[in-house]
A = this chain, B = another copy of it.
Amino acid sequence: MLTTKGELLLRINSLKEPTTTVDLAEATSVSQQSVSRLLIDLAAEGLIIKKPLVHGLELRLTSKGLNVIASLAARLEHALGKGGRLTGKVETGIGEGKYYLSMEQYKEKLAVLLGASPYPGTLNVRVEETEKETFLARLPLFEVPGFEDGQRTYGPIHFYPVSVAGHDCGIVVPVRTSHGQGLVELVAPFNFRKTLGLSEGHEVAIEARR
């Protein structure tokens, strides 16, 4: 998605020490020769400062180079929307999650991620599918592995740490299902309906934890 020049700019920005064309070539999956040529180009464009050392090169971005990265970041930010929070409405529904939460193998691991044993039921929240995708894409992802019990196999679950009204909880996504189309399932060590007084149709704001 990024051009090789873009990849190089990004690498160079996070460098604190001198490097070599060979190292950069490895990091960016292009040849040493290409790195050499591209660095010459970037320097000619005024995006980087290149200083040859006895052993390798000292590279640093110019403010112009930094601007290139910053403005691209801004474009992406804008395209993705702000996305720091996900809002939706509570929906009564048979959470597939409730079923999963009855399995000891999942429960134990979710307990670690939640800090306490999960309440045996999930809160279903109806959200915008696209907002959901961008929101989740920015959160750290934990995978709760699947298992077999001799009868059948149970697939892995993805867990995203979030919070609702200041209470830590998590979004669970059974990996196998073709994503619950605009629905998220929240799991927590407490009963959402009682503790937070939530029920059918209530607006809920889900935020990244912390």
Chain A residues at the B interface, C-beta cutoff of 8 Å = 1-3, 5-6, 9-10, 13-14, 16-17, 63, 66-77, 79-80, 82, 87, 109, 112-113, 115, 130, 133-134, 137-144, 161, 179, 203, 205, 208-210
Contacts and interface: CB of A to CB of B under 8 A. Distances in A.
Nearest to A75: B10
11 contacts: A1-B9, A3-B3, A10-B79, A17-B203, A67-B137, A69-B76, A70-B80, A73-B82, A112-B113, A112-B142, A140-B161
A144 B70 CA distance: 23
Contacts of A75: 10
A17 to B, nearest CB: 6
B76 A72 contact: yes
A210 B1 contact: no
Given A6-B1, A210-B139, A14 B144 contact: no
Contact of A70 (B109, B137, B140): B137
